[in-house]
A = this chain, B = another copy of it.
């Protein structure tokens, strides 16, 4: 409460305001990747930064707030690409291939280490909220049969997610895309139609 501060406080003041926010987000992304969101602590994030502990709180109230900011960032990066990939699709094959490709590219470019426990990472979660919508739109356009959209979205998500692990581990984006696309292209006609 009554700190008689050290006389030697100099240094560590080079980064600008806007940069610091980015610094923290970058560090948080790395830390979440390494430890997982739940295990990561605010201190971990701060330590991954040249900043002082208090500085964190000038930008974010909590770990959760960083998480949301990260999701927003992802939203700006990944989700529009995915939407675009899906909405611009004229054929079923385009819908699938474009989506998978966009996702795998994104994952391949992220420098996150491949870690099974990252289900809760912003990267993974971001953008899947809109998938179901797009699937339904595609059904209306006739690109998909009248199957349960929720189940189909879940299956697409699951396949994308698990194959993304392989992409992270070094698998080819294009080959992986082809594989996933083929699975659904072949599987779709066989799926049970939704009952009314």
Which positions in A face B, CB cutoff 8 Å?
1, 36-39, 41, 116-117, 119-120, 125, 147-148, 150-151, 154-155, 157-163, 165-166, 171, 175-176, 178-180, 182-192
Contact = CB atoms under 8 A, between A and B. Distances in A.
Contact of A182 (B117, B179, B185, B191): B191
30 contacts: A1-B41, A37-B38, A38-B38, A116-B119, A117-B119, A148-B179, A150-B166, A151-B163, A151-B166, A151-B171, A151-B179, A154-B162, A154-B166, A155-B162, A155-B179, A155-B183, A158-B159, A158-B160, A159-B159, A175-B192, A178-B192, A179-B192, A183-B183, A183-B188, A185-B187, A185-B190, A186-B187, A186-B189, A186-B191, A187-B187
Nearest to A2: B62
B154 A163 contact: yes
Nearest to A181: B190
A165 B154 contact: yes
A190 B186 contact: yes
Nearest to A154: B162
B182 A184 contact: no
A175 to B, nearest CB: 8
Contacts of A185: 187, 190
A147 B186 CA distance: 14
Contacts of A171: 151
Nearest to A35: B38
Contacts of A180: 155
A117 B95 CA distance: 28
